[in-house]
Structure 1
């Protein structure tokens, strides 16, 4: 649904060039919620603004729903008729709502339709329908100053949907909201994604947003995408930076001749007493250095860092046992040779709780990642 190829954006600042995007390749599939995360200055805001050509890319292409928007941009600063028509199929939700204080809630939602020349009766019908969809049917005649932050963002979402878009862009839509309101807005976005078949591309600095609502994600650094894929796939990839941020576990070897490994549990394996089975089967003492577990996209996922006695070459069989149970295992000990990872690990899901031996209760829950500084578009 959204594809960027070689996307580059260079800004001129005080006589020097600043590269915000450096050859970004991204693919967002139709109907998924895709999150882009990274530190301040990584290029997230520039990326999302280039997707709908609010910012004109320096080079590269942006294709949305089969239409090459960069080919429609032309050379002028003003958007041509064809580009405006293509943009009407892309809704955008802003961090600070951007509502007109002098207009009622209904009038704010009607604004895009008014610009498109839709008749008054049809505008009113569509606006009231959307306000009901976002749970604000009783606020149609209120003004933005009379609403809470969460209600304002719901109006912003309704306005973004006015043109019946296929794609919804979210530019830090929850960063100005309290945690409870953030959860309600994320749930609304997920509901809209499912009910309307919307493809959602969102940027965020909050790992919990990725955990809660995203099907896929990309990690950006210095204008480049350094990692991308489905959230479940990234969590199952040894060495994944994004997986480490989503489920941070720590711990170091307690002494020489010890093997430290990270184990990822998901699906049915998350409810099985695998670690205790390993200890009983091979009569070895296992130390749990850290563990984290959470629900991602409705799937139970956990990570655990354990220590096995002896060097890696003495633990090849126990590590193989873990892999046979459908777990992903990555050797943490830098002196140990890192074996190949199973590519065919099962991805079954379960709603059941963790067992006394699984990551749900053997360690503390995953700590909330410290929010990264807010990134603003240059």
Structure 2
């Protein structure tokens, strides 16, 4: 649904060139919620503004819903007719709401419909439907100054949906909100994604946003995407930096703790496997004493995900069969350390 290829953006300031994007390749599938996360200055906002051509890239291509936007005529200051038409299929939600204080809630939602030339009756009907959709049916005549931050953002979302877009872009839409309101806005975005079939691309600096609502994610650093994939694939990759930040392994106890000798395993389980009593089954089947060093379970991307550190007696060779049994149950099993053996402390691989 959204694809960028070798996307670059270079700004010139006082004769000095600054690269905000450095060859960004991004692919967002139709119907998913995709999050781009990174620290301030990573290039996230520039990327999302290039996707809807509020910023024209220096080079590279942007394709949305089969239309290559970078091939359409227009500039950052004046868009051509084809580019304006393409933009109407892309909704945008901003961090600071961007509502007109002199207009009522309903009039703010009607604004993009006025621009498209829809008649007054049609505008009112459409705005009323959208306000009901975002849970503000009773606030149509209120002004932005009478609303809470979360309500203002709901108005912004309703306005973004006025053109019946297939894609919704969210530029740090929850960063100015308190945690409870953030959760409600993220739940609304997920509901809209599911009920309207919207493809949602959001940028954020908050890992909890990625954890709670996204299907896929990318990590940006210094204008580049350094890691990307579905959350399921990332969590199954023990080398993934995103997975480590989504589910910090340090919370699971010290891998060096436990008995003096033994093999420490890190077990990752997702979806249906998270409800299986695999530890007790392993202990009964192989009559092995298992020392649980730490465990945690969270809901990430709508799926239950867990990680556990356990210690089995003996070295790795003594535990080949139990480890194989765990993997046959659909679990990801990584050998963290083999206490007492010559082990690489960085990789956990027995030398």
Q: Is the TM value for this pair above 0.5?
A: yes
Aligned-residue offset at 1:81: 1.2
After superposition, the Cα gap between the structure-2 partners of 1:40 and 1:313, relative to the gap in structure 1 and judged at 3 Å, is farther
Match of 1:86 in 2: 86
**Match of residue 270 from structure 1:** 274
- 2:72: which partner in 1? 72
8 A contact 2:167–2:198 mirrored in 1 = yes
Q: Tell me the distance in 1 between the aligned counterparts of 2:200 and 2:68.
A: 18
Q: Is 1:287 aligned with 2:265?
A: no
Distance 2:324 2:233 in 1: 20
Contact 1:93 1:171 in 2 (8 A): yes
Residue-by-residue CA offset, 1:96-155 (whole Å, 9 max, x unaligned):
101011111111111111122222222122111111111111111110000011110000
- Cα pair 1:167 1:198 within 8 Å, conserved: yes
Distance 1:75 1:152 in 2: 30
Gaps of 5+ in 1: 339-378
Structure 1 residue aligned with 2:340: none
Q: What's the offset of the Cα at 1:302?
A: 0.7
Q: CA deviation at 1:76?
A: 7.0
Alpha-carbon contact 2:95-2:173 (below 8 Å) kept:
yes
For residue 195 of structure 1, report the CA deviation from its aligned partner.
1.5
In the alignment, what sits opposite 1:337?
349
2:46 aligned with 1:46: yes
Query: Which runs of 5 or more residues in structure 2 are unaligned?
Result: 338-342
Q: CA deviation at 1:290?
A: 2.8
- How large is the RMSD of aligned CA atoms in angstroms? 2.0
Shift of 1:74: 4.3
- Deviations for 1:143-170, whole angstroms, at most 9, x for unmatched residues? 0000011110000000001111110001
SS of residue matched to 1:291: strand
Q: CA deviation at 1:36?
A: 1.1
Shift of 1:257: 5.4
Mapped partners of 1:274, 1:314: distance in 2: 19
On the 8 A contact 1:249/1:304 being kept in 2, the answer is no
Match status 1:253 vs 2:253: no
Conserved in 1, the CA contact under 8 Å of 2:54 and 2:76?
no
Change (3 A) 1:159 1:323: same
TM-score by length of 2: 0.90
Shift of 1:174: 1.0
What is the CA-CA distance between 1:218 and the residue it aligns to?
1.3
Give the length in aligned residue pairs.
338
Please give the residue correspondences for 1:159-198 in structure 2 after superposition, counting only pairs within 5 Å.
159-198=159-198
